Structures are given as structure tokens and as C-alpha cells.
């Protein structure tokens, strides 16, 4: 279905995502080994995520300027070296302040990696297969998120610092897999990002992060509410990931670019079922609906963002998109901690309703931006024959 270049891109982007999937458990293992407490692991993860979010937009903008291929390779090598330095410092029993400071560098460098890889996809895959390619990528991403903690558990058998070295190795290999046959767009003037037109799709990304996090962060209280043992909590997360993989697979198989409202409705119904406390049937049905709608909704938002973003601002634009989704994930996680359990999913439900059924509906087709204004000139040329014919008819009538 896709070329060798696509699968090389896919392998590279999954390896680039692996450090983030491994980071929570890996930092926890390091903290326990260095300080004897898990508290430092949470601090390291928080600093790492904040650094990623802070660096996403400026790093994405830098990638657009220097070239995505060269920039991605450099950034991934910086991430690899930074994580290796953190591992060596932890192994040398460095103090907490030093470890926190060292985590900032790989976080900042990694902030724009996701946006850079997504920008490369536009030059690798034909537009007719873009929807299917993004859906397949979303399906594989769920597998990476599941595999990350498992790899940490396996690597920790050899030592608590081995997972960090494994994260560094994944970033280094990803740098080698960045496709090289990608040309940098040559544009005379730097274009503007149509932020207003992108807002509905950014809202979809925010809603995904907001509602998804309330399920991923709160599986334990959700099963305890049903008087089930704590061992049932991982099953909720597995069900969510399985439903997401299945939804992405079906959407990739269908290969059609449909509107987002169907899947936003899945979010609304699924989140309401989880909130309503209807027993195991309600919880399972709600989680399946949320998971099944996640992959298609992310795919739709990503495809329409690409149609709107100028070629010389795609890394920056997709970095903004991933940052918005991360903000939604962080807000949903915070809601689980400070709000009643029944109220936290309703935030995602409210966001889905406001995004999907606001005053201005989603545009049926997103028009691709063009930096040098060729779209406007093309429209003018299309209108010119009509005006000429109209003038000729008027002259004929006068004669």
C-alpha cells in the first residue's frame, strides 16, 4: 500500500516516540534507585513534559527554517546524548537538582520532533493516501504506548538505569532512519499560519487529550467504584488501547475522509456512559466508544491541518497541534486529581459538544494555503474568461 520510504519514516517516528512512552516508568525507576523514593520521578517527568511543550513551537519553527531532515537528525542526536547524560549522572548518584536540570535539554530538543516527522509525511505520501497513512500511524502509535512501559520493565531487570540508555539508543536509531529523499520547499516569502481556520481542528486535538487522559489516568478509581480489585485497572487501559487500534484500523481500511462530528458524538456518548456509573456494561461501552473514536478523530484533524498549513510552516503548525493535545491531556489529568470522579469526564464531553456543535460548522473541505498567493491568481485567471466573454456580449449588443 505504501512505499519503502513510508515504512522507514514509520519506523523512525515510532522509535522517536518511544522515549516519551518509556519516560514515566523509567524516571520512576531512576528516582527509586537514587533517592529511595518515587517522588523525584514525578518531578523529572513533569519537567520533561513542560520542557517538551515549551520547546515545541520554537523548535518546529527552527525545523522549517533549516530543513526538516537535517533538523530532525540533529535534534534526535541531541535527545540521545541528553538522555545518556541523565543516565550517567543518575548512575553516579548526582543530586536531585542536577538531574532535574539535565532533563531539560532532551525535553526541549524533543519538543518539535513529532511535528517535524508529521511534516515529513506530507512529502512522502501521496495526498490520496494521506488519510489512510495517518490512520495506520495512529494505530501503530497505540502499540508504542503499550510497549513503552513493558520495555522499561524488561530493561529494569538489568539495572534501574538501563531504561534511560535504551531511550537514548531509540532516539539515536531514529535519527538514522529519517528519510533523506525529501526536498525543502523553496518559497520567496515566509507564509502565515491560518490560525483561525485551524482552530476547529486544534479543538479536536485538545478534546482528544482532555477526555482520553481522564480514562488513562483514572482506571483505578473507575474499577474501585464498581467494587472490583485493583488488578482490573490495567484491563481498562488495555480495552481503551485495543478499541483505539481497532478504530484506526477500520478507518484506515475504509480510507475515506469523513467529518469529525460522528466521532465527537462517540466522545459525548462514551464520556457520558463513564460518568453515569452504569456498572461494568456502562464502563466497557463508554471506554470502547472513546477509544474507537480517538484514532479517526486524530486522523481527520491531522489531515485537515495539513491542507491548511503552508509548506514552509508545517513543522511549526504540527508542533502547535501536538502541544494543544498535550495541554488537553495535562488538564484532564489535573481534573482527575482535583474534581469528583463523575465530573472529570464531563469536561471532555463539554469540549466535544462545544467543538462539534458550535455556531460555525466544520468546513466541508479545507483549502490548502499557498505562500505566494498562487491560489488567488488562479481564481482570478478562472474568472477572467467570463469577464472577457461578458464584455464581448455587451459590445455585440451595442452594435
Residues 303 and 129: their CA atoms lie apart, in Å, by 10
Contact 88, 104 (CB under 8 A): no
For 312-322, what is each residue's pLDDT tens digit?
788 888 888 88
Res 220: pLDDT: 84
Residue found by looking up cell 462539534 in the block: 356
The three cell numbers of residue 331 are: 488538564
CA 74 from chain center: how many Å?
21
User: What SS3 string covers 136-155?
Assistant: HHHHHHHHHHHHHHHHHHHH
Contact 87, 29 (CB under 8 A): no
Res 215: pLDDT: 86
Could you read off the pLDDT tens digit of each residue along the chain, which spans 399 residues?
Answer: 568 888 899 999 999 999 988 888 888 888 888 888 777 887 888 888 888 888 888 888 888 888 888 899 999 999 999 999 999 999 998 988 999 999 999 999 988 898 889 888 888 888 788 888 888 888 888 888 888 888 988 888 888 899 999 999 999 999 999 987 655 555 445 667 677 788 888 899 999 988 988 888 788 888 888 998 888 888 888 899 899 989 888 888 875 666 788 899 999 999 999 999 899 999 999 999 999 999 899 989 988 888 888 887 888 888 888 888 888 887 887 788 788 888 889 999 999 998 888 756 565 544 444 333 333 333 333 333 434 344 444 444 444
Q: State the burial class of residue 55 (Cβ atoms within 10 Å of its Cβ: 0-12, 13-18, 19+).
A: buried
Contact 349, 275 (CB under 8 A): yes
Residues with Cβ within 8 Å of 179's Cβ and at least 6 positions away in sequence, in order, are: 5, 8, 9, 12, 69, 120, 124
Q: Is the dihedral of CA 185, 186, 192, 194 positive or negative?
A: negative
What are the helix and strand counts (H, E) for the chain? 15, 0
Taking alpha carbons only, the member of 16, 27, 195, 42 closest to residue 118 is 16
Res 145: pLDDT: 82
Res 359: pLDDT: 57
Contact 175, 76 (CB under 8 A): yes
Annotate 309-343 with b (16+ C-beta within 10 A) or e (fewer): bbbbbbbbbbbbbbbbbbebbbbbbebbeeeebee
Residues with Cβ within 8 Å of 108's Cβ and at least 6 positions away in sequence, in order, are: 51, 52, 54, 55, 59
Residues with Cβ within 8 Å of 53's Cβ and at least 6 positions away in sequence, in order, are: 111, 323, 326, 327
Residues 2 and 129: their CA atoms lie apart, in Å, by 8
Residues 287 and 236: their CA atoms lie apart, in Å, by 8
Residues 35 and 217: their CA atoms lie apart, in Å, by 25
Q: Is the dihedral of CA 70, 73, 74, 75 positive or negative?
A: positive
Res 25: pLDDT: 82
Residues with Cβ within 8 Å of 334's Cβ and at least 6 positions away in sequence, in order, are: none
Taking alpha carbons only, the member of 295, 179, 198, 313 closest to residue 245 is 295
CA neighbours within 13 Å on the CB side: how many for 264?
Answer: 24
Residues 241 and 235: their CA atoms lie apart, in Å, by 10
Q: Is the dihedral of CA 26, 162, 39, 230 positive or negative?
A: positive
Amino acid at each position: 500500500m505504501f512505499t519503502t520510504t513510508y515504512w522507514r519514516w514509520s519506523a523512525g517516528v515510532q522509535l522517536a516516540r518511544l522515549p516519551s512512552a518509556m519516560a514515566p516508568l523509567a524516571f520512576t525507576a531512576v528516582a527509586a534507585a537514587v533517592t529511595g523514593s518515587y517522588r523525584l520521578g514525578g518531578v523529572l517527568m513533569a519537567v520533561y513534559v513542560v520542557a517538551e511543550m515549551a520547546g515545541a513551537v520554537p523548535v518546529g519553527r527552527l525545523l522549517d527554517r533549516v530543513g526538516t531532515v537535517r533538523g530532525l537528525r540533529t535534534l534526535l542526536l541531541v535527545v540521545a546524548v541528553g538522555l545518556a547524560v541523565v543516565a550517567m549522572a543518575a548512575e553516579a548518584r548526582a543530586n536531585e537538582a542536577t538531574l532535574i536540570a539535565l532533563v531539560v535539554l532532551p525535553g526541549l530538543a524533543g519538543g518539535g520532533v513529532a511535528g517535524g516527522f508529521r511534516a515529513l509525511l506530507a512529502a512522502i505520501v501521496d495526498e490520496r493516501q494521506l488519510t489512510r497513512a495517518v490512520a495506520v500511524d495512529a494505530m501503530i502509535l497505540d502499540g508504542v504506548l503499550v510497549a513503552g512501559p513493558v520495555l522499561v520493565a524488561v530493561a529494569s531487570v538489568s539495572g534501574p538505569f538501563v531504561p534511560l540508555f535504551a531511550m537514548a539508543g531509540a532516539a539515536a536509531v531514529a535519527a538514522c532512519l529519517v528519510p533523506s529523499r525529501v526536498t525543502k520547499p523553496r518559497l520567496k516569502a515566509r507564509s502565515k499560519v491560518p490560525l483561525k481556520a485551524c482552530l476547529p481542528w486544534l479543538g479536536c486535538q485538545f478534546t482528544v487529550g482532555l477526555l482520553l487522559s481522564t480514562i488513562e489516568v483514572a482506571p483505578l478509581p473507575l474499577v474501585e467504584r464498581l467494587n472490583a480489585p485493583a488488578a482490573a485497572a490495567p484491563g481498562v487501559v488495555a480495552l481503551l488501547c485495543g478499541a483505539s487500534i481497532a478504530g484506526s484500523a477500520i478507518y484506515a481500511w475504509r480510507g475515506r475522509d469523513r467529518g469529525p462530528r460522528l466521532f465527537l458524538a462517540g466522545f459525548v456518548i462514551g464520556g457520558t456512559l463513564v460518568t453515569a456509573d452504569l456498572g461494568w456494561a456502562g464502563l466497557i461501552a463508554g471506554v470502547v466508544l472513546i477509544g474507537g473514536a480517538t484514532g479517526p478523530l486524530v486522523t481527520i484533524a491531522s489531515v485537515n491541518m495539513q491542507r491548511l498549513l503552508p509548506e514552509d510552516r508545517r513543522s511549526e503548525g504540527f508542533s502547535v497541534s501536538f502541544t494543544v493535545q498535550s495541554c488537553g491531556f495535562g488538564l484532564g489529568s489535573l481534573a482527575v486529581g482535583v474534581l469528583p470522579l463523575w465530573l472529570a469526564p464531563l469536561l471532555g464531553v463539554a469540549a466535544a459538544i462545544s467543538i462539534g456543535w458550535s455556531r460555525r460548522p466544520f468546513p466541508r473541505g479545507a483549502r490548502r494555503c499557498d505562500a505566494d498567493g498562487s491560489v488567488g491568481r488562479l481564481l482570478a485567471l478562472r474568472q477572467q474568461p467570463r469577464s472577457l466573454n461578458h464584455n464581448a456580449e455587451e459590445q455585440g449588443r451595442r452594435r
